[in-house]
Structure 1
């Protein structure tokens, strides 16, 4: 929530119709002094009026630091545009001109905490709260310190937590009781009748218990290392516990991604579908903890994790497979999707199927894969040949695996110099580059045509296959989330957009703030319809 600076019942009358001594007078005064509210043209505040969506947005965005420069299109068009681009509309039901319900107010504030403020920081971080490595608000750290739990959902939520919740959040999103599933991990605060649920799991073979079984603090299951976050999970992997290296388990993850429950013996069948990245021989722990050389399959799952399984079949890189654990049995087999949708993603719909934040989406190329959000695919054209796998429940897309639709699995940076040999048969060309500011040198006989400047680095079998120049245009307007190019085209900033400053032949990793006042050029890998985004911005 917003940091409170007002005092309930303050004896101040900030507006003629806000009487001193009322419970809200101090808060209205604080909001006025902060510049979040200004009242109406007649000098009144009208405290008994209902608050519409656009009015609430105006206050929330000002609290986040946005101001006149960001509201160039006037009220409420500018506020509603930021509402959508900052993803403040996630889970909201209110529409323009309608008053907000208390539920919508709570969800809006919740969404604001996880969004980028004008400063570029996550708003919660600006308020002093912790955020995770992806810059998202770390609700897990708050829940761990303030809520009760964890408990595992076995039958009903009332049985698990002892009350009927009024508010439910599942996997960090506003939800409802009907969305909860068996084996969800629950945390709760009874006084506010609120439940936080987590559905993430890791299944497979126990490969390592760290630092030892005397005092375990983490476990590696099929290539995924999970910190242990409950006394029960710690005991399960300790010397007196029942789980050993080589056993097949499902670890339930709670707040902060910690392993809190361990399921064995067929208590739950858990599977993950994904793309095979590689099949190779590697070191694998046996039941006694000894390392032996065995065939392993590496799978990038739709859960966004990379899993490693013992394997002896015929699957190969690029195949779509499902790995399932039930009791002591682990199976990995090739799977086919149930549908092959195609078309342009419009308003969360692809070929009549719903694509939303509950959909698990992967994009891959060669041995590289990334997990995407549904919003990343909005307005992107998807051909049937782009779909490697798609599973649905009714009209909802559960899992969608794509073949190089967005290019997000590639690296982007700048080539700072190129030395080409006159005799390519005698000596290779040398490319000096920076990716995210990290320098590198690559020599190659052929296959690279890039000149000095921003470039995309594409990989095959773990090595750079091609270096291609990025297209660029002068920047007309650099926004928080989008760029308006010189021809009027508006494109999204990539999630890992890089800023560089160029001075003659020298290139320096920079930042948005440091490039202020310079002439900017934005570089992109493709059109927005083909999944392209702004990848590099150069100031000169």
Structure 2
């Protein structure tokens, strides 16, 4: 897809994973935090009330680190007696232990199914920031917690050292990490393409840059796997705006009940957005496959098309300069051509629907 068309579509990508804005400022702030952490690929942000296991937290730490590209589904070696090589977190646990982000227990166990405490999590977070054991004197745990508070990694977290962390806590913790300077003095989030806005928050739109690829329509799960540059089993996946597991029956069912699935992906975060062709979404983007039957021009501007009609009978509005050019007499698309449209759907207070084209794939 052309760079300009990608830039025009970026804002809508975010809408695909957005939730309805809350009234309170605190809720709005957390929505932003969840969005940023989700796009970063650090963790899946569903089921926020669930406690986080040590195995899951090891995966989060590695996903936030420069080792994220080396993680595989299995580990070549079994570092801990209670973590077999085929454990889903085996590779992350091995890396987290080797880098000193997390410790094992006496007897050679890691206890991957036990829940993570704040003090254990703080050790890993400070490790990502470049702090080592030699940076803390006396009571190592107490010194680390003091540094954790000093660096304001505790923003929106109200947990004691031995309390267990939920996924919501981890969203806050990793968002704070992204804003914090490393021991060397650089903002940690820069390694994940994070930029701060004028009010000191991370701008999620800057994270979804030209490294995003798509759109493409695929017709089977195997073709989806072939299209992605990373394993589908490693991906954070959204189907029609909702997070789903990569092994979910929902993905298989979607392929069985449609002519195709529209795909966008972001390599850095290993995030995949899937949209069922023909399934309209009020809170994100939708896709339609059809033949162009009419190109509509505004009576005051006979050179610039304002909309097109497909053989499904729907009218699709053209508002951006690039989309108007593509469907004009100067563009490549003509009446009778087949096209996959990517569009947003909105409904006004009187129930009138507007479908606005943001992208297309020439069939």
Q: TM-score, normalised by structure 2?
A: 0.38
Of the two structures, which has the highest relative contact order with CA contacts closer than 8 Å and spacing of 6 or more? 2
Report which of the two has the higher share of strand.
1
Q: Which has the larger radius of gyration?
A: 1
Q: TM-score, normalised by structure 1?
A: 0.27
